[in-house]
Structure 1
């Protein structure tokens, strides 16, 4: 099997990509308003167009995790995961027409300000803290993934890769603000597609066409779309991918600070909705091409799996190893591939840094400043602290990346993090946008119970390892030695293998975590709100008896509901006036 090297040309390409990203940050530091206000630094002065925002929405979360995790998913488990794209189609209209209009009316920097207006300050702070924990953990995974890739194809240790990527990302995010992040996302998105397409193209050339790749995938059982089991312990089924995918998608694209902050950077609501809809085909194209790239890689290693051969330790490294084996003979091509993975990670981390600095300023620093100094922190004095916070989060990301390797496969680890926190967070916003009878104490109780159960299920253990598909070593050069080693292991093992008993909740598919968290938070939050009002234990319990007995801020509810309730309130008011007029007439 031919093996190339990561040579000077590849290194030059990689360095060029990092330099361009840094230069974009420098440019936007001195262009326009020079990032002197938080409105420009965090919201891009709401002057962005649909095109960069739609690409940035994709790049924010579907980045290095997608390139390596989804590719390895089809290589190791088959194509079942592509069904999740149906959930994206079903969820986009919900995000665009129910949640986005509510946030756009408020035009707030932090999405969690909505929760304060709807429920109270405690709810806002609780949700904001949960988001902060979620994004900090995710940043570590996102930075670890490309570092793993670089280590597999070069002699540079992953520790150096983590430091270099983290510092470059922190540099341009801190200097250029949201404008720099959005423009670099577009640049880096094209590199991501270039990396995926290069994998597919090289494999197709060696296979003699795409048909050969597909035929081998069919023969070896990689093409799988028929898992309709209702068993929640089955890792991927149509139900878990569609339902779990919808909750995860809505928690990211409907109520997540990172994505809403981007959507609010455009001129008007229609442009924001267009950006969300245009993100759908971009996201789908990346998803399907990345899944096919896993099949393309499997074709190349169909008779000699590199993990069984001992060339790499984890299958998360298969994709970069493939690049080294097949692209290293072409100057600069392997460097372009690694640059795509680096770019994917840069876009994700920069997005997280920007959103975390916005939340820290609006939800923590400003309230703290007001509590201490009894006055509001003005915009002219808040830009520098915001940049310092962005820098701190970038450096924190570097530290967390060093421990991310212990969290398992990068795809499942990232989706577990978002499922554990995303489901309960989505539930809070759903209760706020779609109900009138929920109150702060009830919602907080549901949120807390949901988080405890979700974290227990997501990170408790021990958990069974997912069952992978079969791999072969028949074509390896040292196949005889590998077979002898396998026979020796079998001879030394117990003749009867007893699988350890795993607690049922630990066997549930990670895709159901977000769904379970969402259902628990909604059920407990709504139910406890009703109970608290009934016994008079809720704050201002009397106002929740009838939604029309109090003045509703209709801007805090989904458009279709707010219009309906406004009409009902007007009709009730008109009826009351008519009755009063009738009584006066009779008198």
Structure 2
């Protein structure tokens, strides 16, 4: 594949409809502090491209988790693969369900139709076209995503009398708040939480997640693969920037009559669709463009997951117990992709009856990434880590992050000031009951942005300690080798291992020559 389709697909794979709807609402109700996370993406890109990607590209394995078997053993590979599969199945079922309920509530589009159309169409082209179909449709869908958020920025600018008025009114409302440098981990968004948490989150997605690594292996050389990562960063940052500005634009329009407090919407995620229906319905085609953009965001995420999970299933599960003929693999991959697409559909319908699964699925998606990144980091950056220590580190790390994420009760986030003075009806802003954060268990007050870093560090520390205290044979020792394969380690460590091996070989040759 060429560089640009892969770079755009890397961005589209995880910019779901939930992201578009959520980021705009985030900036509307909590301000622009969240935008700082884009700095973390810039810091993480060279780390992913220089330290992690060369290992996967050099091995050229179908499944990312094959690396774990080569480095540690088959048990850890299966544990990590099952964790990834559960994470992606649950998340993508919700990705399919979430935009359907939002659009139904504000546009009247029946959620059954939304789920079936998106799910079946995505399953169809992912099954028939494979990875190439996913990459090129991601490119088209990304254009529609950009078109949807650009239309909101342009239209709100026209309503306000100029693009600069978005920022004038946002500043008046206290939305341009970039200056929170607090080191308190209980504060929702600070520079430290966004940069450190964003860094670990980005690496867990773009450095070791199978969905992304699979795309990065579709180009011909390592240099081109690294270019894909470098190009995906500005594309991701541009979409993030426009989505943030769209949230500010909607705020500037509704500055004097908030739709949520005035009961025009029942959840803050409905803000963007409500604006489209309320303000843009008079312009032919714009509402349709927005709906296409929202559905495209879901399609790109679901199609990526179908293909990635199909590859993991055949390689990590079926291939371990059955010898597959090369002629059968393409057809089995298509069947697996189809099965996962239908599974997402079933989960989307079940999600309607499971209440809090939406937030739960998104939390699982974040909580699992940090511990898995810790597993791969121990494998690539150390020679002492063993399967027993890393497995215990992964299980205990996930238990810790899930406890942090699901612990209840927890204090609700505090919104920035809102206004309803401009509403036609007299509306009183409800005063939330005063809550004392110290009444909540400290672990539950920690910002969700610290979940991934905590999981990452937990696996590194626990995995290292147990590996050093509880020795176990490494895979290369079981094969009778006295040194590890340098290709399993990050380039700086691999160079040291090769130099050490060359020195050992030279010493052996010298000893042999002296004997003769």
Structure-2-length-normalised TM-score: 0.94
Q: Look up the SS of the partner of 1:380 in the other structure.
A: coil
Q: 1:469 to 1:107 in 2, by over 3 A?
A: same
Kept in 1: contact 2:476–2:484 (CA 8 A): no
| CA deviation vs aligned residue, 1:434-457 (integer Å, no higher than 9, x gap) | 111111111111111111111111
Deviation at 1:406, TM superposition (A): 3.9
Aligned pairs (5 A) from 1:324-473: 324-369=277-322, 376-402=323-349, 403=351, 406-407=355-356, 416-473=363-420
| CA deviation vs aligned residue, 1:195-245 (integer Å, no higher than 9, x gap) | 010000000000001121111111111011111111111111111111111
Q: 1:217 to 1:542 in 2, by over 3 A?
A: closer
Q: Look up the SS of the partner of 1:379 in the other structure.
A: coil
Q: 1:532 to 1:543 in 2, by over 3 A?
A: farther
Map of 2:467 onto structure 1: 529
Aligned pairs (5 A) from 1:474-485: 474-478=421-425, 480=426, 482-483=427-428
Deviation at 1:581, TM superposition (A): 5.2
| CA deviation vs aligned residue, 1:57-105 (integer Å, no higher than 9, x gap) | 0000023133111111101110001100111111111111111111111
Q: Look up the SS of the partner of 2:257 in the other structure.
A: coil
Q: Structure 1 residues 251-260 or 131-140, which shifts more?
A: 131-140
Q: Look up the SS of the partner of 1:84 in the other structure.
A: helix
Map of 2:483 onto structure 1: 551
Take 2:436 and 2:372, find their aligned partners in 1: how far apart are those partners? 40
Larger radius of gyration: 1
1:213 alignment partner, one of 166, 183, 198: 166
Take 1:499 and 1:107, find their aligned partners in 2: how far apart are those partners? 50
Q: Structure 1 residues 149-158 or 439-448, which shifts more?
A: 149-158
2:457 alignment partner, one of 505, 511, 519: 519
| CA deviation vs aligned residue, 1:318-365 (integer Å, no higher than 9, x gap) | 001101112110111110111011111100010011111111110011
Kept in 2: contact 1:240–1:512 (CA 8 A): yes
Gaps of 5+ in 2: none
Take 1:379 and 1:549, find their aligned partners in 2: how far apart are those partners? 31
Deviation at 1:580, TM superposition (A): 6.2
Take 2:298 and 2:16, find their aligned partners in 1: how far apart are those partners? 6
Q: Look up the SS of the partner of 2:260 in the other structure.
A: helix
Kept in 2: contact 1:143–1:162 (CA 8 A): yes
Structure 1 residue 539 corresponds to structure 2 residue 477: no
Deviation at 1:399, TM superposition (A): 2.9
Take 1:541 and 1:151, find their aligned partners in 2: how far apart are those partners? 54
Take 1:467 and 1:218, find their aligned partners in 2: how far apart are those partners? 18
Structure 1 residue 285 corresponds to structure 2 residue 238: yes
Q: 1:497 to 1:108 in 2, by over 3 A?
A: closer
Aligned pairs (5 A) from 1:240-255: 240-255=193-208
Deviation at 1:169, TM superposition (A): 1.1
Aligned pairs (5 A) from 1:280-319: 280-319=233-272
| CA deviation vs aligned residue, 1:385-444 (integer Å, no higher than 9, x gap) | 322221221122123334278448x7x767633321111111111111111111111111
Structure 1 residue 136 corresponds to structure 2 residue 89: yes
Aligned pairs (5 A) from 1:13-162: 48-162=1-115
Q: Structure 1 residues 390-399 or 192-201, which shifts more?
A: 390-399
Q: List 4+ stretches of structure 1 deviating above 3 A.
A: 404-408, 412-415, 496-500, 539-544, 575-582
Structure-1-length-normalised TM-score: 0.83
Kept in 2: contact 1:232–1:240 (CA 8 A): yes
Kept in 2: contact 1:101–1:558 (CA 8 A): yes
Take 2:492 and 2:361, find their aligned partners in 1: how far apart are those partners? 34
Take 1:530 and 1:523, find their aligned partners in 2: how far apart are those partners? 11
Take 1:577 and 1:153, find their aligned partners in 2: how far apart are those partners? 77
Kept in 2: contact 1:68–1:319 (CA 8 A): yes
Kept in 2: contact 1:415–1:511 (CA 8 A): no
Structure 1 residue 227 corresponds to structure 2 residue 180: yes
> What do you get for the CA RMSD once the two structures are aligned?
2.3
Q: Look up the SS of the partner of 1:230 in the other structure.
A: coil
1:571 alignment partner, one of 503, 507, 515: 503
Q: 1:542 to 1:341 in 2, by over 3 A?
A: closer
Structure 1 residue 171 corresponds to structure 2 residue 118: no
1:321 alignment partner, one of 271, 274, 285: 274
Take 1:414 and 1:468, find their aligned partners in 2: how far apart are those partners? 23
Gaps of 5+ in 1: 1-47, 370-375
Q: Look up the SS of the partner of 1:468 in the other structure.
A: coil
Kept in 2: contact 1:149–1:338 (CA 8 A): no
Take 1:436 and 1:186, find their aligned partners in 2: how far apart are those partners? 40
Deviation at 1:543, TM superposition (A): 4.9
Kept in 1: contact 2:166–2:252 (CA 8 A): yes
Take 2:47 and 2:102, find their aligned partners in 1: how far apart are those partners? 36
Deviation at 1:56, TM superposition (A): 0.2
| CA deviation vs aligned residue, 1:266-305 (integer Å, no higher than 9, x gap) | 1111111111100011011011111011000001111111
Take 1:498 and 1:114, find their aligned partners in 2: how far apart are those partners? 48
Provide the aligned length of Structure 1 versus Structure 2. Answer: 513
Take 2:102 and 2:366, find their aligned partners in 1: how far apart are those partners? 25
Q: Look up the SS of the partner of 2:27 in the other structure.
A: helix
Q: Look up the SS of the partner of 1:307 in the other structure.
A: coil
Kept in 1: contact 2:386–2:474 (CA 8 A): no
Q: Look up the SS of the partner of 2:252 in the other structure.
A: helix
Q: Look up the SS of the partner of 2:189 in the other structure.
A: coil
